[in-house]
């Protein structure tokens, strides 16, 4: 798709599953299941489509999908389908991680921001090493507050979502 001098393409990341009830809230299952059938664990299949934006001498990626830092338990819980991978999808369009100038995240949920980093040996590093990361200030502040609250030594809700 062209938007002025910009070329915008959809790039695929992994598919995964989340609980249908959590996704559709108060909408009765008999209504949503016609369009999006649930599996035996009541999970519906979702995609992590991201955008590749090129033009004006820069390359940007909007959203980073799930990433690939999932252990076996999480892969099972979310039924992560690794056939699709954001980095491979970008490579199919001639874009290497080093070519990305900007990474734009709408918010910091795992399915939108999980691919912003990757594991390299025993450390976490940026998945797009030359990119400037853009995220709304209030979203970042909220994530930092949540991180401190859930990862304090006394928290019952310890998490590794931002590691």
Complete domains list, the chain, with CATH: 2-136 (3.60.15.10)
Cβ contacts of 92 within 8 Å, gap of 6 or more: none
Structure confidence at residue 154 (pLDDT): 55
Q: How far is the C-alpha of 52 from the C-alpha of 121, rounded, in Å? A: 28
Structure confidence at residue 161 (pLDDT): 46
By the 8 A CB rule, do 116 and 103 touch?
A: yes
Q: Which regions in the chain score pLDDT beneath 50?
A: 155-163
Structure confidence at residue 160 (pLDDT): 46
User: 93-136 pLDDT, tens per residue?
Assistant: 999 999 999 999 999 999 999 999 998 988 999 999 999 999 99
Q: How far is the C-alpha of 119 from the C-alpha of 69, rounded, in Å? A: 7
Which among 150, 77, 71, 65 has a CA at the least distance from the CA of 108?
Answer: 65
Structure confidence at residue 97 (pLDDT): 97
**Cβ-based neighbour number of residue 11 at 10 Å:** 24
Structure confidence at residue 150 (pLDDT): 72
């Amino acid at each position: 798709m062209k938007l002025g001098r910009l070329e915008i393409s959809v790039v695929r990341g992994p598919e995964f599953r989340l609980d249908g009830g959590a996704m559709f809230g108060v909408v009765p299952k008999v209504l949503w299941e016609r369009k999006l059938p649930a599996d035996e664990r009541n999970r519906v299949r979702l995609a992590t489509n991201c955008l590749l934006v090129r033009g004006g001498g820069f390359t940007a990626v909007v959203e980073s999908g799930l990433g690939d830092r999932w252990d076996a338990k999480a892969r099972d819980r979310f039924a992560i389908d690794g056939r699709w991978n954001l980095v491979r999808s970008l490579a199919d369009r001639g874009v290497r991680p080093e070519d990305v100038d900007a990474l734009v995240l709408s918010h910091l949920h795992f399915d939108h921001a999980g691919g912003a980093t990757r594991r390299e040996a025993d450390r976490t590093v940026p998945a797009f090493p030359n990119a400037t990361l853009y995220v709304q200030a209030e979203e970042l502040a909220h994530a930092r507050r949540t991180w401190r609250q859930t990862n304090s030594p006394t928290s019952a809700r310890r998490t590794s979502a931002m590691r």
